[in-house]
Amino acid sequence: MSRRPALLAAATTALALLATLVPATAPALAETTPAERAGVRYVAMGDSYSAASGVLPLDPAAPVQCLRSIRNYPHVIAEAIGARLTDVTCGAADTGDYRGSQYDDVPPQLDALSRRTRLVTMTIGGNDSSVFLNSILQCGAAGLATLGQGSPCKDEYGDSFVTTIRTTTFPAIRRALRDVQRRAPRAEVAILGYPWIMPERVGCYPLMPVARGDVPYLRTLQRVLNNAVKRAARATGATYVNLNRVSDGHDACQLPGERWVEPVLAGTNPVIVHPNALGEEQMAQRTLAVLGRQ
């Protein structure tokens, strides 16, 4: 078999694996007393980007379906500030899993909150309506079909993904943040954007099997998603942790040691197109800086 068909077969297999794995302003943290900060009750919520799904070692206390890592950004934050962490992050979660059980043995994430909670972090929204996952899968499949040429994904789907984010994902994130604030009225709530997955213009086919013309298309889609997260935070008084600038140049097309997100092919994590340990560390550091805790 020649090298190209082998790469295409591997990329197709990896994309299939991804499909199975990733199906009122609160008082600021800085205003608490030193005694309260020493043991601040911290609840981490959210999806696979919060859980660091696939980053080893996995958390032995977590439901196996969640693929939660003890190296996720909530654990880094908790260690840095000496917080009492309750981690309910779970791979494949969407905003509906805040109010309902994601799996039989995984309670609604909101159940972890109380009036004693003082800090909440999350990354959420990317799985809502399956729009972000579907765009990656469908654009990857389209890129493989054209051997990386043209813009087959943009040509077929146009503005449909963006429209879903603006009309469905944004209000869902806003509602989730309001639900969190009602359950934990004394907590500072921080919601992170998603670190860049694709570079701005030039991709890395077939490591990321996205056609040349679809690279800026996916980048724009992610910008719209992050803007929806930002708008939801602003509408509810939550703290938005903007990762656009700090993650620029650390996308899945970069070399190991530089990239924060792993590619479809030749990556280091079994869960592809997700943050690696370096990415989780940097997401934590950015969050700490925004919260004034560095």
Q: What pLDDT digit, counting tens, does each position of 50-78 carry? A: 999 999 999 999 999 999 999 999 999 99
Q: What angle do CA 77, 46, 112 make, to 5 degrees?
A: 80
User: 């969050």: which residue's tokens?
Assistant: 287
Predicted confidence at residue 39, as pLDDT, reads: 85
pLDDT tens digits for 177-210?
999 999 999 999 999 999 999 999 999 999 999 9
Residue-range domains of the chain with CATH: 3-290 (3.40.50.1110)
What is the pLDDT, as a whole number, of residue 38?
Answer: 54
Q: Burial of 114 by CB count in 10 Å (0-12 exposed, 13-18 middle, 19+ buried)?
A: middle
**36 with 118: CB under 8 angstroms?**
yes
In angstroms, the CA 144 to CA 124 distance is 29
Is residue 111 within 8 A of residue 90, CB to CB? The reply is: no
Q: What is the pLDDT of residues 78-103, one digit of tens each?
A: 999 999 999 999 999 999 999 999 99
- Name, in order, each residue with C-beta under 8 angstroms of 179's C-beta and a sequence gap of 6 or more: 98, 99, 110
The reply to whether the predicted model has a pTM over 0.85 is yes
pLDDT above 90: residue 127: yes
pLDDT digits (tens, 9 = 90+) for 210-223: 999 999 999 999 99
Cβ proximity of 42 and 74 under 8 Å: yes
pLDDT at residue 23 tops 70: no
Residue 26 has pLDDT above 90, yes or no: no
Looking at residue 149, its pLDDT comes to: 97
| pLDDT above 50 (res 33) | no
In angstroms, the CA 57 to CA 67 distance is 10
Q: What is the pLDDT of residue 247?
A: 98
CA dist 167 and 155 (Å) reads: 21
Length of the chain in terms of residues written = 294
pLDDT in tens, 234-276: 999 999 999 999 999 999 999 999 999 999 999 999 899 999 9
Q: Which residues are catalytic?
A: 48, 274
**In sequence order, what are the beta bridge partners of 240?**
191
CB 44 within 8 A of CB 50: yes
- pLDDT at residue 19 greater than cutoff 90: no
